Amino acid sequence: MNKDRLGYYLVGWKKFYSKTLALIESSKTKYKPLWIFNDDVFSKINWSIPITTSLIELYRQRAQQLRETYDYIILYYSGGADSAMVLKTFLDNDIFIDEIVLLLFEPERKILEDMNTSAKNLYAEIDYIAIPELKKFSSYLNPKTKVTIQDCARATLELLSDEDWFEKITPGSSLSLGILSRQYIPLSVKHFADIFNSNKKTCQLFGVDKPLVWFDGKDYYAYFADNNAYHIGTVELNYTKFYNDKYITEWFFWTPDFPEIVIKQAQDIVAHCKVSDNKRNLWSKSLIKHIGEYRSVMHPIIYPGLDKRKFQTEKTIQGLPRDGTHDWFWEMAPIHVQNNYTKIFPYLDKIIAPEFSIEGSIANGTGNIKSRFYKL
């Protein structure tokens, strides 16, 4: 199924799209949870054979591939480097985007700070980077491209107002408010429902994700990690056929439909490491460092020609339910809605083994589960 391409979990012989459900099963059966990310495609490729085509050209081909595949493309644009490179690729090559969506929490905009680059100020990237850039690019945008600023707060409150919300939407790799609302929006916003219920083959396109490379002191390896793949669309079981046939989540970079992209990105990183002791040392620690610590060094390598982000916040740990980026929820949401949300965490702590969570509690997030490794 199309959802398989976004990664899934195997616990023993059982298959799960939800990390939470996979960890529950693993805790019960003691089978180690495996994250399977398109092994059938990436394992058949020799990652050490150099790809000579430039990244810019590979990106162009990927954008064209998507355009030829879908009737309606929705690009989720945050102003960050990943989605900015996707947008730049479409614009530079005059490839039409049907809609550009900027997700934010309207109540949060009241407390954003233009000089604060901490993770708490995450959604400021929309106001201080994404919106100004779209205005700057207005002369390049096709006049038929729709730009939508989507408030996620309403969807969040609607979802969590149901005390059985956990049964309504099966979470992916994160239980954070931002990710849950992103999953639920397609089921709750009429604008999106109208698109998905039309006869148009539709994709929601995300800039997922940066290449993961590790130097073990002798050789270089590439891999994927499930917590980097948190942008997954809803996997609510009643909608399985709908989301496979009509509404498909696409990742621009991490895709089995164009494996050359992530392989070339990884190869270019290795080439830089081989001539720089500092970079080689940095990538020797990639298994324990957060990907956000690499962006200032990595972006010029994998996103050639992209302007340096004038404003970009630190990245929070996406598994964290109360990470500072959603203070509006704790200040404005009715107490029963907050309780509906928080009550799931002590419950999960009882049925999920502590080694799967950060500092022994699901409320702190879950550790990465890595894919198989590919020698470069």
Residue-wise pLDDT tens for the chain (376 aa)? Answer: 577 888 889 999 999 888 888 999 999 999 999 999 999 999 999 999 999 999 999 999 999 999 999 999 999 998 889 999 999 999 999 999 999 999 888 877 665 555 555 455 556 677 777 888 888 888 889 999 999 988 888 888 988 999 988 877 766 667 888 888 877 777 677 777 787 777 788 888 999 999 999 999 999 999 999 988 865 554 444 444 555 566 788 999 999 999 999 999 999 999 999 999 999 999 999 998 888 788 889 999 999 998 875 645 455 544 445 455 677 888 889 999 999 999 988 999 999 999 998 888 888 888 889 999 999 9
357: its two tokens: 């969570």
- How far is the C-alpha of 329 from the C-alpha of 107, rounded, in Å? 9
| pLDDT for the residue 20 | 87
Q: Measure the CA–CA gap between 268 and 345, rounded to whole angstroms.
A: 41
Domain boundaries along the sequence of the chain: 2-375
Residue 1's nearest CA partner among 240, 224, 259, 256 is 240
Comparing C-alpha atoms, which of 207, 261, 194, 3 is closest to residue 86?
207
> Which of these, 221, 226, 247, 222, lies nearest to 235 by C-alpha position?
247
Q: What is the pTM of this model?
A: 0.90
pLDDT of residue 266: 98
Residue 97 Cα distances to 89, 191, 255, angstroms: 11, 17, 19
Going from the C-alpha of 281 to that of each of 215, 241, 274, 276, 290, the distances in angstroms are: 8, 46, 10, 9, 15
Choose among 213, 219, 196, 215: nearest CA to 262. Answer: 213
